Amino acid sequence: MNFLSRIAVAAVALVPWIAAAQGTYPNRPVKVIVSTVPGPLDAFARIIAEKLQAQLKQPFVIENKAGAGGNIAAEMVAKSPADGYTLLFAIDTTFTVNPALYKKLAFDPVKDFVTISVPVTYGQMLTVHPSVPANSVAELVALSKQKQLSYGSGGNGSPSHLVSAFFIATSGANMTHIPYKGTGQSVIDALGGRLDMLFAVTTGVLPHVKDGKLRALAVSSSQRSPLAPEVPTIAESGYPGFDVQFAYALMAPAGTPDEIVQLLSRELQKAMGQPDTQEKNRIADYVPTGLDPKQSAAWLAAARQRWTTVIQQNGIAAD
């Protein structure tokens, strides 16, 4: 047998071994870094981790690494081995907002990561204090041109700030921004009448709307929220095409084998399809996307382009 023949035989012999090696993932615990403290993202990540653990027969262990808008967790995962055993669950803003919001990042949001999934999106609800004489988006915009109104947010560059800035730019409303250190405090001041308008996640303000302490005028997403189907979208309220949604993203270090990325994507979609997961998502006002890794990466790229424009046009910088 000549040299080339021996190489060919050896290559054929390796095929089953390679296939078997690929099929063993995961063969040890998988660490899932969550970029926030316990809260909505953490709760969602734990639901998915529990499902993946049951489906793939290995522990998926959650570890919270909050701080700097998700940058600390992202840097940690970016510098981890690209073997599928360290993953990142983050709010999409780490990859769509932070590149323009922060002067310098310790990671490249595109080159240092591969996208596994953008599994769900969620909108925000536009609310006003009952003392504000506006029962629709049109009335609110008209009022803002007659008197100075204020709006709150969870801080400069936070989702509530960004959707508000985009709404103001789209509608031509005239409002003053009052940033807070977290959305919770802004909700408190909105309830106290110290703010005129506030965008916040639907589940965070809907109980107050039902109690009559806030008035809901619209939601930012393209579809009405199933939790409040009576509340119109901003698009329906005179601004066709208005559609602002945020999302969660499951990421892995760049260089992670595509077969692992595809496997995790398929298993995540399987987890999303289970009835108890669907019900939990409905209660949380999450909209499943069904996006594969390539489509998820495209979603992040489009959002990054939009928010870069909004941030630059409004001169927004991190606190």
Is 303 within a domain?
yes
CA dihedral over 165, 167, 168, 170, signed as positive or negative: positive
DSSP per-residue letters across 233-301: BTTTTT-TT----EEEEEEEETT--HHHHHHHHHHHHHHHTSHHHHHHHHHTT-EE----HHHHHHHHH
**Is the same domain home to 173 and 206?**
yes
Q: What is the mean pLDDT of residues 116-132?
A: 97
**Is the same domain home to 21 and 165?**
no
* Rounded Cα distance, 125 and 218, in Å: 6
Closest by CA position to 82, among listed 35, 114, 56: 114
Closest by CA position to 160, among listed 206, 203, 124: 124
User: How many percent of the chain have pLDDT more than 70?
Assistant: 92
pTM, rounded to two decimals: 0.88
**Is the same domain home to 73 and 168?**
no
What are residue 114's DSSP bridge partners? 252
Cα-only R_g, the chain: 22
**Is the same domain home to 149 and 189?**
yes
Is 251 within a domain?
yes
Q: Count of domains in the chain? A: 2
pLDDT of residue 204: 93
pLDDT of residue 72: 97
Is 232 within a domain?
no
**Is the same domain home to 172 and 276?**
no
Confidence of residue 318 (pLDDT cuts 50, 70, 90): confident
**Is the same domain home to 252 and 115?**
yes
Q: Is the pLDDT of residue 179 over 70?
A: yes
Q: Please provide residue 200's backbone torsions phi and psi, each rounded to the nearest 5 degrees.
A: -155, 165
Confidence of residue 149 (pLDDT cuts 50, 70, 90): very high
* Torsion, CA 198, CA 43, CA 208, CA 157, rounded to 10: -10
Strands (E), the chain: 30-34, 60-64, 86-91, 113-117, 120-122, 124-128, 149-153, 175-179, 197-201, 215-219, 246-253, 287-288
Is 240 within a domain?
no
**Is the same domain home to 259 and 207?**
no
> What's the CATH code of the domain at 59?
3.40.190.150
Is 225 within a domain?
no
**Is the same domain home to 154 and 111?**
no
Helix (H, G, I), strand (E, B) or coil at 285: coil
Measured CA distances, 255 to 68, 106, 151, 251 (Å): 25, 18, 43, 12
Is 291 within a domain?
yes
Range of the domain at 42: 6-122+246-314
**Is the same domain home to 67 and 157?**
no
Is 51 within a domain?
yes
**Is the same domain home to 145 and 283?**
no
Q: Please provide residue 28's backbone torsions phi and psi, each rounded to the nearest 5 degrees.
A: -160, 170
**Is the same domain home to 204 and 261?**
no
* Assigned token pair, 229: 């189907």
Q: Is the pLDDT of residue 135 over 50?
A: yes
> What's the CATH code of the domain at 209?
3.40.190.10
pLDDT of residue 1: 53
**Is the same domain home to 116 and 19?**
yes
180-207: pLDDT as tens digits: 988 889 999 999 999 999 999 999 999 9
Residue bearing tokens 């007659």: 146
Residue bearing tokens 């990042």: 105
232-253: pLDDT as tens digits: 999 999 999 999 999 999 999 9
Is 238 within a domain?
no
Q: Is the pLDDT of residue 17 over 60?
A: no
